[in-house]
Amino acid sequence: MEEPDLNSPEYYQNREVSLLEFNQRVLEQAKDERLPLLERVRFLAISSSNLDEFFEIRVAGLKQRVELGSSRPGPDGLTPQQQLDRIATRARELVAEQYRVLNDVIRPALEEQGLGIIGNRNVTKGVQRWMAEHFEREVEPVLTPLALDPSRPFPRIQNKSLNFIVRLAGTDAFGRNTSLAIVQVPRSLPRVMHVGGTRSVDGPTTALLSRIIQVNIDRLFEGVEVQGCWQFRVTRNSDLYVDDEEVDDLLRAVEGELAHRRYGAAVRLETAADCPEDLVLFLRSHFSLEPDDVYLVNGPVNLHRLMGLYDLVERPDLKFPAFTPGVPSRLGQQADLFSEIRGREVLLHHPFQSFQPVTDFVRQAATDPWVLAIKMTLYRTGADSLIVDGLVEAARHGKDVTVIVELRARFDEAANIELATRLQEAGVHVMYGVVGYKTHAKLIMVVRREDNRLKRYCHVGTGNYHARTARSYTDYGLFTCDAEIGEDLHDLFLQMTGLTKAPALRKLLQSPFTLHAALLAKIEREIEHARAGRPARIVAKMNSLIEPEIVRALYRASQAGVRCRLIIRGICALKPGIAGVSDNITVRSVVGRFLEHSRVCYFTNGGEEELFCASADWMERNFFRRIEVGFPIQRAKHRKRILADLETYLADNVDAWELQADGSYVRVAPGEAERCCAQEALLERYAD
C-alpha cells in the first residue's frame, strides 16, 4: 500500500473555517434549553463578539494579502481569496442563525420570564410615553444629527460604532433640500435599560437604546419629513502594525497605532435587513466594500450589546449557580506562602480553585522584609489589579521590581500602556519585552534571603494574571521553589531584559528556541515506544492546533499505533479518523460555562510518564514569534491529578463535541452512559 503524503492539503482543515465552526459551537449553547436563560443570552452575545474579532483580525489580514497580490496557499491548499469566498458563505449562514436564535428562541423565552425587550409590535401607550420621556431627558441632549451636504461630508465612523442612516424629505431651516443624515449612537449611554426605571410600566420590561432612538428619530429633524432610518455598523481592520526593524520607541509606536485602529480599513458592513437597496449601495460605496462584505440582519445590529441585559437583570434563577472557588487548606488567608511553597510545590486549577493565592503571593512578597526582588511578566491584567497594587507597594518598600509588560496584547494595548506608566511612576523597572516577539509567558520570580543565601520562589502558569478572567477561564498555575526552575527563570528574565543569550535551560521549555523541537522529539519518542511494544499514549489539551510539523508528527504517531487524545477548544487543522493516517487520533472540543484555556501535554513515555503545562498553543506564532514557557509537573501526585482532569474532559458527554474526518463537529450525547459534564465535575472536585 502506498504511503500517504502527509503534506497533502486533503489532510488539513482551514484555520479560518475551523474558527467559524468554533463560533457555531458557542452559538449552539444559546439554543441549549438545559442552560439557564440569561446564560444563553450571554452565549449569543459572545458569538457576536467572537465574530467581530474574526473580521477585525482574520478577515482583515486575508484582505490585505489579497490586495498585495498574494496567492500562496496554506497547508489546506486554499489561497487567500478562496478563503475569503468560503468565509463569506459560512459567516453569512452563521449570522442568519444568530438572528434566528434571537427572534425565534431567545426573545420568546425572555417574554415568558417577564423580561421582554421592546420590539416593533404591541408596544403599549405607557411604553411609548416612557420612551418619549426618556429620549427627551436622557438621550437627545447627547445626540448630534449630521445632515449630509457639500459642506458636511460623510462623518468618520469609528470601528464597531452603531449609527443610523436617515432618509429625509423637504427643505431645511436654510431653504435647501435635505435628503440624508447620519446619527451616531453615543457610546457614553447604556445600551440596555429597564423600561420605566423605578416606576412600573405595562409591557416589555427592557429596552435597547437603539430602539428608543429609532422610535423618536423625527424629534431630531423638526421641519423636515423623516421617511425612515436604519441601523448600520462598520467593522474595521484592528490589527496593529509596528515595524519591528524601524521602530525606535515601542511605546510611542503602539500609541500611534492605537489612534489609527478606530479608523482602519473597513472589512464588513452590517445594516438592517429592511434598509433600502440604494442606501446599502451608498454605504457600501462610501466604505469601499464588495457585495460579499455586506451583512443584512433581521434585528438589532450588534448582538454583543445583549451582554448588557445579562448584567442588568438580577435573576439568579436564570443564571448559573454561584460558586466559591476552593482554596487548599495550606494556602488559607493567614498562610505563610513562602513556608508552604518551600515545603512542597502547590498546583492550582482555576477557576475551580481560587486565584487569591497568586495575588497573596505578590502582596506578601511586597511587604516581606527578606524579599529583595520581584520579577514578573504581564500580558493581560485587570483595571483594578491587586497584583499591580502589590508590585507598586513592593517598589515603595524598596524592593527591586522588574515587570515585562507586553504592550501588544491584542485589544489590551491601551490598558497595558496605562499600566506601564503607573508602574514606572512607582519606581518599577518596566520593560516592553523583545521587539519582534510577544512576551506571552506567565512568570513570577521572587528572590528572598534565607539563612544567608538567596532562594527563588516562582509561579508559572497557563493563564494571565487577571483576577476576573481567572473566574471564567480554566488554567493551571504552579508554585515552586525548585532550584533548577528558579535558575531557568533567572536566565529567562536576564534574556528578556538584557537580551543576553540564555544558556541551555534545565527544566523549562521555551519558545522561540526549544519548545517546538522538544514537543516534536517527545512525539517521536512516543512513536519509538509504540514500535517497540511499550506503552505509548499522548493526551494534549489546548486552544488551537495548526502548526504543520506538529500535525504531521501526530499523523506519524497515529500510523505507528500511538493513541492520541486531543482536547482542542477552538481551531484544529488536523483531521482525525482518516484511515491509514489518523485512525488513532480523536479530537474533542469542550464548550461550557467556563472558557477552556489551559494548555497541557501528557506522554506515557513507555511507563516513565511526563506531563508539561505551558502558556503556548500549538501554533506557528506561539512556537516561533512569541516568548512562551512550558513547565514540567514533577510531583507524581500532581501528574496523577492533572491526568484525572484530562480523563474527565475525555469522558464529557454534555459539553463535548467530536471532530469528524470531514471537518464537521458532532455533539456527544450521553446515550445510555452516565451523564458527565467535565466542568461540573471539576467544580465538585475542587470548589469550596
Say if residue 675 is in the same domain as residue 553.
Answer: yes
Domain boundary among 318, 346, 363: 318
Domain-located, residue 252: no
Measured CA to CA in angstroms, residue 541 lies from 176, 464, 476, 626 at distances of: 65, 17, 12, 19
CA–CA gap between residue 257 and residue 395 (Å, rounded): 31
pLDDT above 60 for 593: yes
**What pLDDT sits at residue 594?**
97
Domain-located, residue 323: no
Cis previous bond, 535, omega within 30: no
Beta bridge partners of 588: 567, 658
Residue 432 pLDDT class (50, 70, 90 cuts): confident
Domain boundary among 450, 485, 506: 506
CA–CA gap between residue 467 and residue 488 (Å, rounded): 26
CA–CA gap between residue 170 and residue 472 (Å, rounded): 54
User: How does pLDDT run across 107-152, given as a tens digit for each residue?
Assistant: 999 999 999 898 876 678 888 899 999 999 999 999 999 988 766 7
C-alpha closest to that of 629 among 612, 615, 611:
615
Other C-beta atoms closer than 10 Å to the C-beta of 274 total 9
Contacts 24+ apart (CB under 8 A), 638-643: 638/345, 638/347, 638/478, 639/602, 639/609, 639/611, 641/347, 642/347, 642/476, 642/600, 642/602, 642/611, 642/613, 643/539, 643/602, 643/609, 643/611
Average pLDDT over residues 36-52: 97
Residues in contact with 453: Cβ distance below 8 Å, sequence separation at least 6, in sequence order: none
Say if residue 287 is in the same domain as residue 430.
Answer: no
CA–CA gap between residue 381 and residue 404 (Å, rounded): 13
pLDDT above 80 for 605: yes
Domain-located, residue 254: no
pLDDT above 50 for 656: yes
Say if residue 594 is in the same domain as residue 491.
Answer: no
Domain-located, residue 307: yes
CB 627 within 8 A of CB 641: no
User: How does pLDDT run across 249-271, given as a tens digit for each residue?
Assistant: 555 555 555 555 566 899 999 99
pLDDT above 80 for 548: yes
SS3 437: strand
Say if residue 35 is in the same domain as residue 97.
Answer: yes
Residue 48 pLDDT class (50, 70, 90 cuts): very high
CA atoms within 13 A on the CB side of 375: 20
Catalytic pick from 440, 459, 529, 597?
A: 440
**What pLDDT sits at residue 473?**
97
SS3 476: strand
Q: Which of 377-381, 408-412, 669-673 has the lowest mean pLDDT?
A: 408-412
Residue 363 pLDDT class (50, 70, 90 cuts): very high
In the structure grid, which three cell numbers stand for residue 139, read together?
Answer: 438621550
CA–CA gap between residue 191 and residue 398 (Å, rounded): 46
In the structure grid, which three cell numbers stand for residue 559, read together?
Answer: 500510523
C-alpha closest to that of 50 among 65, 80, 30, 32:
30
For all residues of the chain together, what is the average pLDDT? 92
C-alpha closest to that of 442 among 586, 569, 615, 280:
615
**What pLDDT sits at residue 545?**
98
Residue 203 pLDDT class (50, 70, 90 cuts): low
C-alpha closest to that of 622 among 564, 537, 550:
550
SS3 626: strand
Say if residue 517 is in the same domain as residue 399.
Answer: no
Q: Which of 236-240, 428-432, 449-453, 486-490 has the lowest mean pLDDT?
A: 236-240
CA–CA gap between residue 179 and residue 174 (Å, rounded): 14
Say if residue 554 is in the same domain as residue 493.
Answer: no
CA–CA gap between residue 443 and residue 631 (Å, rounded): 11
Say if residue 576 is in the same domain as residue 660.
Answer: yes
Domain-located, residue 539: yes
What's the CATH code of the domain at 561?
A: 3.30.870.10
Say if residue 410 is in the same domain as residue 486.
Answer: yes
CA–CA gap between residue 587 and residue 583 (Å, rounded): 11
Measured CA to CA in angstroms, residue 672 lies from 32, 137, 653, 675, 676 at distances of: 20, 59, 11, 9, 12
Domain-located, residue 127: yes
Average pLDDT over residues 321-338: 89
User: How does pLDDT run across 658-676, given as a tens digit for each residue?
Assistant: 999 999 999 999 887 899 9
CA–CA gap between residue 682 and residue 500 (Å, rounded): 42
What's the CATH code of the domain at 129?
A: 3.30.1840.10
Measured CA to CA in angstroms, residue 262 lies from 157, 236, 411 at distances of: 8, 7, 12
Residue 198 pLDDT class (50, 70, 90 cuts): low
**What pLDDT sits at residue 247?**
46
**What pLDDT sits at residue 173?**
63
Exposed / middle / buried, residue 150 (Cβ in 10 Å: 0-12, 13-18, 19+):
exposed
CA–CA gap between residue 213 and residue 194 (Å, rounded): 15
Phi, psi (deg, nearest 5) at residue 510: -135, 135
In the structure grid, which three cell numbers stand for residue 93, read together?
Answer: 449562514
CB 299 within 8 A of CB 102: yes
**What pLDDT sits at residue 176?**
67
Average pLDDT over residues 442-447: 98
Question: Mean pLDDT: which of 170-179, 492-501, 633-642 is highest?
Answer: 633-642
CA atoms within 13 A on the CB side of 218: 9
**What pLDDT sits at residue 256?**
53
SS (H, E, C) 153-176: CCCCCCCCCEEEEEEEECECCCCC
- The domain in which residue 192 lies consists of 11-244+265-318
pLDDT above 90 covers a percentage of the chain that reads 78
Say if residue 293 is in the same domain as residue 157.
Answer: yes
**What pLDDT sits at residue 246?**
46
Say if residue 402 is in the same domain as residue 541.
Answer: no
Separation of CA 285 from chain center: 32
**What pLDDT sits at residue 259?**
56
Say if residue 114 is in the same domain as residue 39.
Answer: yes
Measured CA to CA in angstroms, residue 445 lies from 289, 319, 512 at distances of: 50, 38, 21
In the structure grid, which three cell numbers stand for residue 640, read together?
Answer: 496523577
The DSSP letter of residue 435 is T
**Side chain identity at residue 362, one-letter code:** V
User: How does pLDDT run across 216-252, given as a tens digit for each residue?
Assistant: 999 999 889 999 999 999 999 987 655 554 445 555 5
Domain boundary among 506, 531, 565: 506
Say if residue 307 is in the same domain as residue 335.
Answer: no
SS3 63: helix
Domain-located, residue 6: no
Measured CA to CA in angstroms, residue 20 lies from 529, 574, 595 at distances of: 37, 16, 16
Average pLDDT over residues 653-658: 97
Q: Is the dihedral of CA 498, 500, 504, 509 positive or negative?
A: positive
| Strand segments (E) across 392-508 | 400-405, 429-431, 438-439, 442-450, 453-461, 473-480
C-alpha closest to that of 448 among 367, 380, 524:
367
Average pLDDT over residues 69-79: 92
Q: Is 260 one of the annotated active-site residues of the chain? A: no
**What pLDDT sits at residue 250?**
57
Domain-located, residue 259: no
Residue 61 pLDDT class (50, 70, 90 cuts): very high
Total of domains in the chain = 3
**Side chain identity at residue 269, one-letter code:** L
pLDDT above 70 for 1: no
